[in-house]
Amino acid sequence: MDVSGLPPARRILIMTAHPDDADIWVGGTSARWVDDGHDVHSVFFTRGDKGHGDPAMTPQRVATLREAEQRAAAAILGVPRLTFLDFADGELAWSGPGLAETATRLIRQERPDTVVTHDPYTGAPGYREPQLHPDHRAVGLAVVEACYFRVPGPLYYPEHRAAGLEPHRLREILLIMSEHVDHVVDIATTFERKVQAVRAHASQFGHRADLEGFLRGLAARAGGGPGVPLAEGFKRLVLS
């Protein structure tokens, strides 16, 4: 178990499926990165357009609402750069080769030191709801495979090179929602901001009476092994 203040990252690209994923699982760490002057860019493959229980809503209205909530949350954490892609919520696992190409292109554009994404390898005996969402596993698989094989491989997508996007080798991947946590970040100094950021996703958490208690429990479980009271936990893959 590696417990550190922070990984030595400079350019961080967070690639998640829906608005709110990043704030729940890496929000406290993101705020620390921002506070320390690192460049943090968060990419959302969907606008979460199916994430509403009211059948009178439309996917378009939900998408507009959730993008606004995400922008408010990012402002609380200080994350300055957000990109919303137009993949359909719930359909990423069946979106075809465009998902891998998009992930590769974004990483070649941004040239990050660290990529944060979903752990696609849930493993036994996980089966927790966040890990079962097909969008999470689809984004995680596309991004992890892109980092290892597609982004550094010059024969993948030669049209990228023609457009000035060179192959790139990044330093590490941090996986969220993982059953195999081996890297823990202390978020005591940013936990309150994380709570406010998650609260900004009112369409998702407005019904939850004790949101802070829920997040405190999540943070305690993440740090439980190495004895960090408020933490976020990741599986860390080192590439170079």
Sites of contact with Zn ion (CB under 5 A): 17-18, 21
C-alpha 85: how far from chain center:
14
Nearer to Zn ion among residue 151 and residue 174 (C-beta): 174
Considering the complex, state which of residue 32 and residue 47 has its C-beta at the smaller distance from Zn ion.
47
Task: Write down the least CB distance from residue 19 to Zn ion, Å.
Answer: 8
CA distance 33 to 80: 11
The C-alpha angle with vertex 105 and arms to 103 and 108, in degrees rounded to 5, equals 110
Nearer to Zn ion, 18 or 108 (CB): 18
Q: Residue 129 Cβ, how far from Zn ion at the closest point, in Å?
A: 10
Nearer to Zn ion, 130 or 225 (CB): 130
SS3 readout for 82-127:
EEECCCCCCCHHHCCCHHHHHHHHHHHHHCCCEEEEECCCCCCCCC
Residue 185 DSSP code: E
CB nearest Zn ion: which residue?
18
CB of 57 to Zn ion, least distance (A): 18
At its nearest, how many Å lie between Zn ion and the CB of residue 117? 12
**What is the distance between the alpha carbons of residues 238 and 81, in angstroms, rounded to a whole number?**
25
Instruction: Quote the CA–CA distance of 225 and 118 in Å, as a whole number.
Output: 21
Tell me the closest approach of the beta carbon of residue 20 to Zn ion, in angstroms: 7
| Residue (21 or 186) nearer to Zn ion, CB | 21
Cβ 134 to Zn ion shortest distance, Å: 10
Question: In the complex with Zn ion, which residue's Cβ is closer, 40 or 138?
Answer: 138
Tell me the sheet residues that pair with 11.
39
From CA 173, how far away is CA 48, in angstroms rounded? 24
CA distance 69 to 181: 29
